[in-house]
Amino acid sequence: MGISKWVNTIFRSSKAAAAASEAIKPSNPARSSGVETEVKPLSSQQQNGFASEATFETRAFKLHNLEEGPSTKVTLTKEDALKYYGQMYMIRRMETAAGNLYKEKVIRGFCHLYSGQEACAVGMRAAMRPEDSCITAYRCHGWTYLMGVSPLAVLAELTGRSSGCARGKGGSMHMYGKNFYGGNGIVGAQVPLGVGIGFAAKYNGTKGACIALYGDGAANQGQLFEVYNMAKLWNTPCIFVCENNGYGMGTSVERASANTNYYTRGDFVPGIWVDGMDVLAVREATRFALEHTSSGKGPILMETATYRYSGHSMSDPGTSYRSRDEIAEVRQTRDPITSLREKILTTELATVEELKEIEGKIRGEVDTATKLAKADKEISVEELTTDIYANPQNLATVRNTLPHAELTHKRLGQAVNM
């Protein structure tokens, strides 16, 4: 089957995309993992023999209807480096646990994993302010964790148990948290909702923006083009983010879209392309986008070039439309976690021992959460009809499986984001 056009044009063309994107040669060969590092360290500040921060240059951004974009010169502190590394590693371990639980038939129904795309979510979350919101599609486990939900609450939601963030009633595709509006199962339908959330922020004067994420497979939905127009007309503070992982289910972007430059598709909406496998590049692009929307210029469209290691969902082996060699090449040369680890060690922001300590702590936390998510109890039948509406008066009874045997709608807890 060979290597797809997606990998050849996006990942192998990195050196041609920007001269500053040359790989670095670690001074200590023992630390080298063979991963192509997409940033060139420009300088570092030393403290007690170790670097407290380092400056890098990322790959060039591609712009649409913008006179200037984010700076390719980025600074990373030791604190942020360890934070981003831990967050990406946590998401990877959680998704690995979720995949295993699905294979054990503890998780039922749909389950879409985020492995490989961690830099997108972590980079965007790093740039978000307290007043900003986010809404995404069904590949949402990592985002749920980043928005403040514990690993146990994520995994227990997947197993349908009472410790889940939605009491086990939402499952893989419907998780929520503070300023996080899901997890949405209908392809592309979350994007108009995201514009509505951004419109509400403008109306209420919160000065926040909404990040509305979707995939390349949803990018051809008509409703997206409708809300591009509405958001620009009203100068809504919304950041449209196309997480382009190269495949919409099993269809490559080249076979699905006449225009594969998704960042240009907003017409009058400005756009920016970013290397979605580099957490620092995503962070800088998101900061730029938030500054754009906060200054009253309206929406902006961001495309993150990324890659998923798993199939579209757990029912998809992911190898019928792409080769195992392709997946292996991206893992070996562009993995976002390994790449950040290489940058940290090369610039001496942290030691191997410090990173191993973080990894061990996360493995233990996920292992414990997995055991609890399997052992926890399910909610009672009576609770199935609670909290359907934020205001119980809007729905007094709920239709049952038999006529004239309606169930009572009750309120159990306070609605999130109300």
Residue-wise pLDDT for 224-247, tens only, equals: 999 999 999 999 999 999 999 999
DSSP-derived 3-state class of residue 273:
strand
Task: Count CB neighbours of 330 within 10 A.
Answer: 23
Q: Which residue has the higher pLDDT, 180 or 3?
A: 180
3-state helix, strand, coil in the chain (%, to 5): 40, 15, 45
Is residue 61 within 8 A of residue 46, CB to CB? The reply is: no
Are 171 and 183 a contacting pair, CB within 8 Å?
no
Instruction: Read off the pLDDT band of 394 (50, 70, 90).
Output: confident
pLDDT 10s digits, 100-118: 999 999 999 999 999 999 9
**Does the CA dihedral 19-20-26-31 come out positive or negative?**
negative
pLDDT at 381: 86
Does the structure show a pLDDT above 90 at 46? no
CA 234 vs CA 115, 129, 195, 203: distances in Å:
36, 22, 10, 11
Q: Which domains does the chain have, with CATH numbers?
A: 53-379 (3.40.50.970), 382-417 (no CATH)
Output the CA angle 287-359-315, nearest 5 degrees: 80
CB 86 within 8 A of CB 358: yes
Residue 114 contacts residue 91 (beta carbons within 8 Å): yes
Helix 352-375 vs helix 336-346: angle between axes, to the nearest 10 degrees? Answer: 150
For the segment 72-88, what is each residue's pLDDT rounded down to a tens digit?
999 999 999 999 999 99
Question: Which residues, other chains included, contact 154 with Cβ-Cβ below 8 Å and sequence gap of 6+?
Answer: 94, 141, 144, 145, 164, 165, 175
What is the percent of the chain where pLDDT is above 70?
89
How far apart are alpha carbons 209 and 194 in whole angstroms? 9
CB 165 within 8 A of CB 157: yes
Over residues 188-199, mean pLDDT = 98
DSSP state of 304: E
Q: How confident is the model at residue 27 (pLDDT cuts 50, 70, 90)?
A: very low
> Collapsing DSSP states into helix, strand and coil, what is residue 361?
helix
Query: What's the whole-number average pLDDT of the chain?
Result: 90
Q: Where are the alpha helices (DSSP H) in 32-186?
A: 78-103, 118-127, 141-146, 151-158
Contact between 91 and 141 (Cβ < 8 Å): yes
CB 234 within 8 A of CB 249: no
Structural element, H or E, at residue 287: helix 279-292
Nearest partner of 118 among 249, 240, 333, 278, judged by Cα: 278
User: How would you class 294 by CB atoms within 10 Å of its CB: exposed for 0-12, middle for 13-18, buried for 19 or more?
Assistant: middle
14 is written with which tokens? 């990195």
- Greater confidence (294 vs 16) lies with 294
Q: Sign (positive/negative) of CA torsion 95, 100, 106, 109?
A: positive
Q: What does 324-352 look like in DSSP terms, one character per residue?
A: HHHHHHHHHHH-HHHHHHHHHHHTTSS-H
User: The tokens of 173 are what?
Assistant: 């595709």
d(CA 326, CA 316): 16
DSSP character at residue 384:
G
**Lowest model confidence (mean pLDDT) among 16-25, 61-70, 378-387:** 16-25
Rounded CA gap, 106 and 104, in Å?
A: 5
Question: Is the pLDDT confidence value at 8 over 90?
Answer: no
- Measured CA to CA, the distance from residue 335 to residue 99 in angstroms comes to 19
What's the whole-model pTM score?
0.91
Per-residue confidence (pLDDT) for residue 298, from 0 to 100: 97
